[in-house]
Amino acid sequence: MSEPLPLLPRPVDTRGRPLHDLRISVTDRCNFRCVYCMPRAVFGPDHAFLEHDDLLSFAEIVRLVRIFTTLGVEKVRLTGGEPLVRRDVPSLVAELAGVPGVRDLTMTTNGVLLPRHAAALAEAGLHRVTISLDADDDATFKRVNDAGVLVSQVMAGIDAAEAAGLGPIKLNMVVKRGWNEHAILPMARRFRGTGRVLRFIEYMDVGHTNGWRLDDVVTADQILRTLAAEFPLEPMAPTAQGEVAERYRYLDGSGEIGIIASVSRPFCGNCNRARISADGKLYTCLFATSGHDLRGMLRDGASDAEIEADLRTVWGAREDRYSELRSEATVDLPKVEMSYIGG
């Protein structure tokens, strides 16, 4: 094992944003074909997914996380694709849980495979899971996930995660006009008072294949008006620097919801996240058009110190603020797909 690198000052980018969170996509494959992420017309039977050797190995992921912690990273989230379709992910979790400096180790999943894996993930050291669920009724949910998955299958995953201690559970609902905006209130009714935090996400132009249009976005203001018609809300203070969800509590004390509004309320100014794609590229923005090849450095024999210095340079030069600059011209840029970079 490499000698630990000295803990140097946390790098900041050109806008003064520190590096704090790291999201790692462990696979580009998924058992869903959600219309906003992996539309089946593009990601069909003939789609060429990454070969296994093209993915970062678990050892390579752990090595990168160790280096990133010397830059100030404290929170690591495993994403995909669907991370649980990659074999033996609990063993990766166990290794990452042992990396000094990782204080929050989490996963974003569609939840369907959690009944099989939740106990092993918790035993390995995973702290929490965030689960995607885009509607409360089967007809709408199956239309969105385009994989025939029922709401009850995700609910079984939620129950398994809670039973294993992987809570409190956060639930992500991407809202797309004409598809599931009618499910906003039913979803709130289902999860209000359960201790499970439902977060509504504006439909975003991540990638280049989901046919995004501004007219398809149900904005944060529209979501809040829909909720407030039945459930009065009040804003809450953020829990951490760089938190992307705006928090609101029900006035009757029955819990909270979150709004992630990248389109109508950009939060670029506080973004402290780096992302590593399934094939080992570093992206400093969810909407990036190109990445920085870390897999090549790892496999060409670069030392930890050389990689650490390279990461400092990349982050120090970062000036991303896509959501603040979003326009008709930028929407059509060939951005990296969400299935490669994670959410």
Number of Cα atoms under 13 Å in the Cβ half of residue 39: 11
* Residue 218: both structure tokens together: 């149900």
Give the number of C-alpha atoms closer than 13 A to the C-alpha of residue 37, restricted to the C-beta side: 28
Q: Is 15 left (phi over 0), alpha (psi -120 to 50) or beta?
A: alpha
pLDDT (0 to 100) of residue 1: 46
At CA 173, angle to CA 169 and CA 174, rounded to 5? 145
Looking at the DSSP assignment, which residues form a beta bridge with residue 21?
A: 75, 273
Q: Which residues of 85-105 are buried (b: 16+ CB within 10 A; e: fewer)?
A: bbeebbebbbbbeebebbeeb
Q: How far apart are the first and last CA of the chain?
A: 31
Going by the DSSP 8-state scheme, the letter that residue 254 receives in this structure is: S
Distance CA 84, CA 31 (A): 10
Is residue 156 a contact partner of residue 116, using CB atoms and an 8 Å limit?
no
Q: Write out the two tokens for 172.
A: 């992500």
| Per-residue model confidence (pLDDT) at position 329 | 65
- Rounded CA-CA distance 254/251 in Å is 8
Give the Cα separation of 112 and 152 in Å (integer): 9
- What is the token pair recorded at 177? 């006009």
- pTM check: above 0.85: yes
Give the bridge partners for 276, in sequence order: 24, 282
**Angstrom distances, CA of residue 105 to CA of 79, 302, 316:** 11, 26, 25
CB 186 within 8 A of CB 137: yes
- Rounded distance, CA 80 to CA 341, Å? 7
DSSP assignment string, 28-94:
S--S---TTTS-TTTSSTT--PPPGGGSPPHHHHHHHHHHHHTTT--EEEEESS-GGGSTTHHHHHH
pLDDT confidence of residue 69: 97
* Of the candidates 257, 256, 258, 260, the residue with the CA atom closest to the CA atom of residue 271: 260
- Provide the 8-state DSSP code for 263: T
Q: Which of 288, 302, 263, 294 is nearest to 276 (CA)?
A: 294
Average pLDDT by stretches of 10, the chain with 343 residues: 62 96 97 94 94 97 98 97 97 98 98 98 98 98 98 98 97 97 98 97 86 91 97 91 90 97 92 96 91 98 98 96 79 80 77
174 forms beta bridges with 201
Find, among 330, 172, 183, the residue nearest to 266 by Cα: 330
Distance of CA 129 to the CA centre of its chain: 11
CATH architecture observed for domain 21-341: Alpha-Beta Barrel (3.20)
* DSSP one-letter code for 119: H
Instruction: Give the pLDDT score at 7.
Output: 59
Residues 158 and 195: beta-carbon distance below 8 Å: no
Cβ atoms 111, 161 nearer than 8 A? yes
| Residue 218 confidence (pLDDT) | 97
